Structures are given as structure tokens and as C-alpha cells.
């Protein structure tokens, strides 16, 4: 291998490294958008539930009506949180698969590069 070959190999590795970093950055942004969106939905729901609870507290005609309303709100909230948990687990599975594919692709490219650079035995 000549010095030019070595320099070309280093340049190629640097370019591929930057390309992979950019791909990783894009993947991270996609993940954060998904997670952020889910968190905003959950936060909005909790704020709506708080407003409903305040309305219930101010409009309930008696203790039993207030307690009945509280039970309904709690049931609704727990069902929604279960849905949110399931959706979050689905997103986690998708993200895991995206990162696994990213790493597997990188390892394949690395193995191919090593094979090319190795002298034939």
C-alpha cells in the first residue's frame, strides 16, 4: 500500500464516519419527535382532566355527586394512561428496531471495508 492509498483510505473512513453521524442525528431527531409528540398528547390530556376535575368540584351538588364524578374521571384517566403506555411500548419497539438496523448496517459496512483493506491470504 502506498502513502496515497493510505490517505485515500483515511479520507474515505472520515467521509463515511460523517455520513453515519448525520444518519444517527436524523434517527435521533425522528425518535425525539415521536416521543415529544406522545408526551405532549399525554400532558394535554392531563390538563384537560384537571380542568374537568376543577369544574366537577365547583359544580357538584353534593358529596356523593362529587365522589361519583371523581371515580369516573379516575377510570377514564387510568384507561387513557394504559393506552398511552401501550403506544409508548410500541414506539420503543420501533425505535429499538431502527437503532438495531442502523448498527447492523454500520457493522456490515465496516466488515466489508476491512475485507477490502486486508491483503488476500
Domain span including residue 100: 3-112
On whether residue 117 sits in a domain, the answer given is: no
State the total domains in the chain: 1
Quick one: pLDDT at residue 120? 55
Quick one: pLDDT at residue 119? 67
On whether residue 85 sits in a domain, the answer given is: yes
Whether the model clears a pTM of 0.75, i.e. scores above it, the answer is: no
Give me the residues of the chain with pLDDT under 50, please. 121
Nearest-10 crossing angle of helices 3-59, 63-117: 180
Quick one: pLDDT at residue 1? 64
On whether residue 119 sits in a domain, the answer given is: no
Asked if 92 and 31 count as a contact pair (C-beta separation under 8 A), the reply is: no
On whether residue 118 sits in a domain, the answer given is: no
On whether residue 82 sits in a domain, the answer given is: yes
List of residues 6+ apart from 20 with CB closer than 8 A = 106
> Per-residue pLDDT tens for 65-94?
999 999 999 999 999 999 999 999 999 999
Report phi then psi at 74, rounded to 5: -65, -40
On whether residue 121 sits in a domain, the answer given is: no
On whether residue 120 sits in a domain, the answer given is: no
Amino acid at each position: 500500500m502506498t502513502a496515497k492509498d493510505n490517505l485515500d483510505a483515511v479520507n474515505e473512513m472520515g467521509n463515511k464516519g460523517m455520513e453515519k453521524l448525520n444518519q444517527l442525528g436524523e434517527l435521533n431527531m425522528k425518535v425525539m419527535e415521536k416521543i415529544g409528540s406522545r408526551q405532549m398528547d399525554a400532558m394535554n390530556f392531563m390538563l384537560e382532566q384537571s380542568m374537568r376535575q376543577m369544574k366537577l368540584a365547583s359544580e357538584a351538588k353534593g358529596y356523593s355527586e362529587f365522589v361519583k364524578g371523581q371515580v369516573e374521571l379516575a377510570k377514564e384517566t387510568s384507561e387513557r394512561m394504559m393506552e398511552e403506555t401501550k403506544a409508548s411500548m410500541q414506539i420503543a419497539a420501533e425505535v429499538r428496531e431502527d437503532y438495531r438496523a442502523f448498527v447492523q448496517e454500520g457493522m456490515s459496512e465496516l466488515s466489508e471495508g476491512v475485507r477490502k483493506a486486508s491483503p488476500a491470504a
